[in-house]
Structure formats: structure tokens, C-alpha cells
Homo-oligomer: A and B are copies of this chain.
Amino acid sequence: MKDSAGDKKQKDNVRPPVHHTTSLKQLAEHLGLNPATVSVVLNEVPGRSIPQATRDRIKAAAKLLNYQPNLLARSLRSRRTLTIGILVPELGDGYHTQVMSGIGDQLIKAGYFYFTAHHRHKPSLIEEYTRMLIGRGAQGIIAIDTMLEHSIGIPVVCVAGHRHIEGVTNVLLDHVRAAELALNHLYSLGHRQIAFMRGQPFSSDSDERWKSLVRVADKLGIAVKPELVINLERDMSSPELGYPVVQQLLAAKQPFTALVAFNDISAIGAIRALQDVNLRVPNDISVIGFDDIKAAAFTLPRLTTINQPLEEIGRIATQSLLNRIHNTIPPSDEITVEPELMIRESTGPVKS
């Protein structure tokens, strides 16, 4: 059984030649058949009469020669690339990548792959990458936290998109419900002097979340004082985001007992800023976050926050896009998902 060492590189067991790929034509030639026949058999095209013997012969040869159809060629002909594009502002950010994780799972199941492009919120890049993705054969696009300006000729699903555009499905959180959960929680703990953090203007949830908070605060009779509103400006995804703005807030010397952060990342930075001036969370100030990223359950104190089912959002977005692509069911313009209040340690009753 000793290998008589014909080829040096053949040091592993007999492995089919992965390198040199076989084309349909070569396979057909090897079989003494026409490529068309081979194609028909391997794709199990219905309504063709090919005797079982030939079919078996073809399949055996395909396996032997490790035939892998060239997807480029196939796509060129069939106009189905089984590819979609994902537009995302930033990689390396928990929110986006968790959504992407849900997308990836669902796409693979459907036999699709995806291109990713990150644009760092630059409108010109959004435009350019959209074109490039289409040029590369994307049959649809999922845009996460990305402001699209107009419809683009292929199906699109926006995660956290709020503009209504033809051919675009928006998947978004029920922001009013989220605001209710957050503010009811704080209200029931006795908080009335509440500071708010507004998201960056380029973040697509900022506006909607803010409006919802204002509306619900109003309903509860909580005043939204301008001196207690801080605005995020910087484009970053580290807790550093929330640190300086809280310093500003404190500098204003307006009393408050709770802070509604824009998201968990900024909440973590905010808490650090509070702790750094010896304010205790939640004893002196309660802080509530948004998103429920994985780290939220492990900060000190553990972060009370509003959970968004990020992976599920990704899955829903994907399913919705595939529906649009396959024209199975009439597409909906909007799909909302429900938030959930995660009560942990960063909120507590107001000091009496």
C-alpha cells in the first residue's frame, strides 16, 4: 500500500484535483457527449428524455472529475447571481454586525452570498457603492442604518430606515413602544428630572427615537428641558462617544436624576463620565441604554436597556428581501419589531 511517489505534491491521500477545475465542455468531451446533454442531466431539467444509464454515467463522471459549475457563467446566462449587497456605515460595530450575523445565517440557507460595503456615512460613497453592487450582480440590497435617497431599480430592504421609497421595505423597531418602556420604567422609579441624549444626525434612528421620546415624555408629563438635552455629534462606535457630552451636561449644573442614553455604547461612556466625578449609578443617577448589546449585561453596574432583537431584525430583513426578489408574496412597505425592557442595575429609585 505504499505510495510510490509519482508526484511530489501528492503528499496527502488521493484527493480530487481541486486546483484544475473541470469545465462542462471538458466533462462532455470526456464522456463523448454534448455539453448540452450533460447540463440537462446535471441540472435535472424536467421533460427531457435521457436514459437512466446515461444519466448515471454523466453523474459518475462529474463526481470523478470534481466538476463544479462556473457560477459566473451560469449567472451570466440565467441572470440569477444568488448574490445580494449589504450597505453598512461601519464594520467593527456591535449593532451593525449583529444584524449582519442574522442576515448571513438566513442568506446561506437560501443559497445566497453577499457583498459588504461600508461607507462611513458618506453620501457619495453610499451612491457609489450602490452602483458597484448592482454592477457586480447584486439582486437586492440590504441597507443597515443607511440613508438611501431614492429607489435604485432592484429590491431593497432598509434596516432602521424611515423614509418611504418605492421598492423599499423598512424594517424598524417600534420606537414609540421603546420610548414608553424606557420612560415608564424611569417614571415608575420616581424620576421626573430626566436628561436625554440625542443620536447623531447621520444615524438613521436618531430622529425617530427622539420624536418618540418627546411624545411619550409629554404624555407622562415629563418636561424635556433643553438644558438637559445633549447631542451626539461624533462618528464613532466606542464608548468614548458618550463621555464628553455627559461632562458638558454636568457642567451645565442642571439637576437631574436619570439619563436616557442614545444607545448602549454611549451609555457605557456616559456611566464612566458620571463615575469619574464620583456620581454613583444608579444611586445618584439612573442610566438607561438602548440596543442591549452583548456587553451591556457585564458592565458595572449592569446596564438597564431597551433590547432590540438585532439578529432577528437581520433575519426578517433578509426574508423580506428574498420575498421581494422572488416575488412570492406582495411586499410590505414596513415591518416593525418589538423592543423589550431589560431591567438590570443601572436604574434605581430616585433618592427621596
Contact = CB atoms under 8 A, between A and B. Distances in A.
A72 B311 CA distance: 31
A79 to B, nearest CB: 9
Interface string A8-42: 00001001001100000000000000000000000
Contacts of A92: 94, 97-98, 100-101, 294, 311
A59 interface: no
A133 to B, nearest CB: 8
Interface string A133-152: 11111000000000000101
Interface residues of A, number: 58
Contacts of A150: 12, 15
A133 B97 CA distance: 21
B298 A239 contact: yes
B294 A268 contact: no
Given A12-B150, A71-B135, A104 B76 contact: no
Contacts of A239: 294-295, 297-298
Interface string A67-95: 01111110110000101000000111110
B118 A115 contact: no
A206 interface: no
Given A113-B117, A131-B68, A268 B297 contact: no
Count of chain copies:
2
A135 B272 contact: no
A40 to B, nearest CB: 20
Interface in A41-71: 68-71
Contacts of A275: 300
Nearest to A130: B18
Nearest to A118: B104
B19 A153 contact: yes
A132 B152 contact: no
Contact of A104 (B116, B152, B243, B299): B116
Q: Which of A71, A297, A298 is the most central at the interface, judged by chain B CB atoms within 10 Å of its CB?
A: A298
A137 B69 CA distance: 11
Contact of A93 (B12, B97, B131): B97
A35 to B, nearest CB: 16
A108 interface: yes
Contacts of A237: 294
A182 to B, nearest CB: 22
A204 interface: no
A136 B111 CA distance: 12
Given A72-B136, A92-B100, 17 more contacts: A12-B150, A15-B150, A72-B72, A72-B81, A91-B104, A92-B97, A104-B118, A113-B117, A115-B115, A116-B116, A238-B294, A238-B295, A239-B294, A240-B294, A240-B297, A269-B298, A272-B300
